[in-house]
Amino acid sequence: MGLPFRSLTMLLLLLLIWWSTSEAQTLRALDAILQDYAYRAFHRPRTGRPYDGVPPANLSGIQISALRLRSGSLFTRGVRQYKQFSIPVGVIGTPYVERLVLVYQNLGNWSTTYYPLPPGYMYLAPVLGLLAYDASNLSATNLEELDIYASEDPISIEFTQVQPVRDARCVWFDLDGRINFTKVVSGNKCLTYEQGHFSIVVESTAPSPAPVPQPHQGGGGRVGLLVGLYSVGLHCWCCWHC
């Protein structure tokens, strides 16, 4: 009698793993599309000047921008203001390239579709992304991100439209969509030493609502299912182990 339950638990765990890898692939595919469309904004670009791009029509509501820089200048001078990001001196990209592009993403109304939050959390601002790529071929697609890290002060992100709220937290997603929370500084700023996607969230005191199916494919509905599967999984696990 134990065996079917154990197999069910195993199956659910496998499903969970499969689901989270496919989530990560969805996110990687989105980053690749946005890199492509951000690069299209370059037309004989001047170094150090941001160019706003136009995302494909099926992703309207997202804002993208691209800024080409010499690695040396990024390291010695930083970028005082690139949209909501302030990049201090000391930022290093690896592997070394002579010029790099910083792609900016503002996911706007797509934030919860692509980056759903754990139950009980609510976004106070859209998800913003900052990702670094090699600038040697501005027609290139499917580029891998460079690794960038701030070797001195952190990069700061200011969410100007966010009013200081008690219990607000910064949320940070790495390139695989892994989530991490950090503290908000100066009421509406988040700090990071790495690239990724960022926003400010608050724990909503209201009981978490039933997952609402999203009109557009992707994260939201899936996460509801994921949470459901997960609790079923835990429940079965508990039948036998708790």
Ligand X SMILES: *[C@@H]1O[C@H](CO)[C@@H](O)[C@H](O)[C@H]1NC(C)=O
Residue 206 corresponds to which amino acid? A
* Total residues in contact with ligand X, by rule CB under 6 A: 16
Q: Counting contacts by CB under 6 A, is residue 228 touching ligand X?
A: no
- Those residues whose C-beta lies under 8 Å from the C-beta of residue 90, and which sit 6 or more positions away, are 75, 78, 150, 151, 152, 153
> How far is residue 39's CA from residue 168's CA, in Å, rounded to a whole number?
34
Of 81 and 137, which CB lies nearer to ligand X in the complex structure? Answer: 137
- For residue 27, CA distances in Å to 20, 43, 183, 218 come to 11, 27, 24, 10
C-alpha torsion angle, residues 180, 185, 187, 188 (rounded to 10) = -60
Of 65 and 182, which CB lies nearer to ligand X in the complex structure? Answer: 182
**Minimum separation from the CB atom of position 5 to ligand X (A):** 31
- Of the candidate residues 21, 49, 61, 228, the single one contacting ligand X (CB under 6 A): 61
Of 33 and 97, which CB lies nearer to ligand X in the complex structure? Answer: 33
**Minimum separation from the CB atom of position 66 to ligand X (A):** 15
- Of the candidate residues 139, 160, 163, 205, the single one contacting ligand X (CB under 6 A): 139
Q: Counting contacts by CB under 6 A, is residue 216 touching ligand X?
A: yes
**Minimum separation from the CB atom of position 165 to ligand X (A):** 21
Residue of closest CB approach to ligand X: 61
Burial 32-46 (b: 16+ CB within 10 A, else e): ebbbbbbbbbbeebe
- Of the candidate residues 33, 54, 89, 234, the single one contacting ligand X (CB under 6 A): 33
Which of the residues 76 through 105 are near ligand X (CB under 6 A)?
none
Ranges assigned E (strand) in 88-178: 91-94, 99-106, 121-123, 128-134, 147-150, 155-158, 168-173
**What's the CA angle centered on 151, arms 106 and 115, to 5 degrees?**
25
Q: Counting contacts by CB under 6 A, is residue 22 touching ligand X?
A: no
> How far is residue 153's CA from residue 209's CA, in Å, rounded to a whole number?
40
- Of the candidate residues 16, 89, 97, 140, the single one contacting ligand X (CB under 6 A): 140
**Minimum separation from the CB atom of position 49 to ligand X (A):** 22
The DSSP letter of residue 96 is: -
Of 107 and 236, which CB lies nearer to ligand X in the complex structure? Answer: 107
Stretch near ligand X under the rule CB under 6 A, chosen from 53-61, 88-96, 126-134, 160-168: 53-61
> How many C-beta atoms surround the C-beta of residue 163 within 10 A?
9
**Minimum separation from the CB atom of position 77 to ligand X (A):** 26
Q: Where along the sequence are the contacts to ligand X (CB under 6 A)?
A: 33, 56, 58-61, 109-110, 113, 137, 139-141, 178, 180, 216
